[in-house]
Amino acid sequence: MTPIYFREQGHGAPILLIHGFPFHGRIWDDYLGLLSNNFLVITPDLPGFGQSPNLAASFTLADVADALLEFLSSKKIENIALVGHSLGGYVALSMLEKKAALFSALVLFHSTSYADSQEKKDSRSKVVEFVKKNGAEAFTTSFIPPLFANQNHPAIEKVRRIASQASDEAVIGYTLAMRDRPDQIKTLERFKNPTLFLAGKKDPGIPFDSVLKQASYCQNHQIHLLENAAHMGMFEFPEETAAQIKDFLAQT
């Protein structure tokens, strides 16, 4: 079993907040207080990030999902809501593919069920070559500002500091795993419980029309569009996004 480092706060129905790339669980620190009055909020470090050890080389997102499923099993947690930001959404979908009955709801927070396009695959391959040549920190320092609609947002430096802690090994491993991940539309179709899409109108990586198309495959879905956000709604509009999550989960 791969050890998973985690933090938890609050009481009530459980929520698993899965961070994006190339962050770790502390990316949610300022967000926890917005949810923990209503829920037990668990924020793991994905394997290889933060204080969780790496998986073996050439891992897949299915391997990451297995590690989190083992973690939940060890804590005897069931009927949990999954909230996945970006990469975290990819991992959440892989978890659903394997054990959908464990989960009460899904929130795709600036994330997608689609596999990478060929253009995106090529871009990820270039990231791998860049990191091999220049190191992860050279990539992560320039990677963060375009994730925000306002590239002078005060949270950028904090996010950059967290991203800069990612190792070359983790950045390369997850970039390849994301590049090679499968399409998960069938997983969305099969999931019977509610799904919420939190999308940024200014997100450079996930066009809103693609969110609308994905939602059409769901048995039970809601969509909330953040008009002035890009890819970091938990920092760009924390109160609005947390309220959407709370209202959504109150209905499940």
Amino acid at 63: D
How far are the Cα atoms of 93, 100, 138 from residue 144, in angstroms, in the given order? 24, 32, 11
pLDDT tens for each residue of 175-216:
999 999 999 999 999 999 999 999 999 999 999 999 999 999
Q: Are 116 and 178 contacting, i.e. CB atoms less than 8 angstroms apart?
A: yes
CATH of the domain at 14: 3.40.50.1820
- For tokens 């390849």, the residue is 176
Q: Are strands 103-109 and 195-200 parallel, antiparallel or unpaired?
A: parallel
Residues facing 108 on adjacent strands: 84, 197
* pLDDT value at residue 78: 87
Record the pTM: 0.98
d(CA 32, CA 128): 32
**1 domain-assigned:** no
CA angle, 93 as apex, 89 and 94 as ends, to 5°?
120
How far are the Cα atoms of 1, 24, 56, 103, 159 from residue 67, in angstroms, in the given order? 7, 15, 12, 16, 25
Amino acid at 108: L
* pLDDT value at residue 252: 84
pLDDT tens for each residue of 53-62:
999 989 999 9
Is the pLDDT score of 1 beyond 80? no
- Token pair, residue 210, equals 């693609």
Q: Are 20 and 86 contacting, i.e. CB atoms less than 8 angstroms apart?
A: yes
- Token pair, residue 100, equals 């959908």
Query: How many Cα neighbours within 13 Å face the side chain of 29?
Result: 8
* pLDDT value at residue 135: 97
pLDDT tens for each residue of 226-237:
999 999 999 999
**198 domain-assigned:** yes
* pLDDT value at residue 174: 98
Per-residue DSSP letters for 178-200?
A: HHTPPP-HHHHHH--S-EEEEEE
Which residues touch 69 (CB under 8 Å, ≥6 apart)? Answer: 95, 98, 99, 102
- CA dihedral for 91, 94, 95, 100, sign (positive or negative): positive
208 lies in which domain range?
Answer: 6-250
* pLDDT value at residue 12: 94
* pLDDT value at residue 128: 98
**224 domain-assigned:** yes
- Which among 109, 142, 147 is positioned nearest to 248, based on CA atoms? 109
pLDDT tens for each residue of 62-113:
999 999 999 999 999 989 999 999 999 999 999 999 999 999 999 999 999 9
pLDDT tens for each residue of 142-184:
899 999 999 999 999 999 999 999 999 999 999 999 999 999 9
Which residues touch 120 (CB under 8 Å, ≥6 apart)? Answer: 179
Is the pLDDT score of 31 beyond 80? yes
Q: Tell me phi and psi for residue 154, to 5 degrees.
A: -65, -20
Q: Are 100 and 191 contacting, i.e. CB atoms less than 8 angstroms apart?
A: yes
Please tell me the total count of domains within the chain. Answer: 1
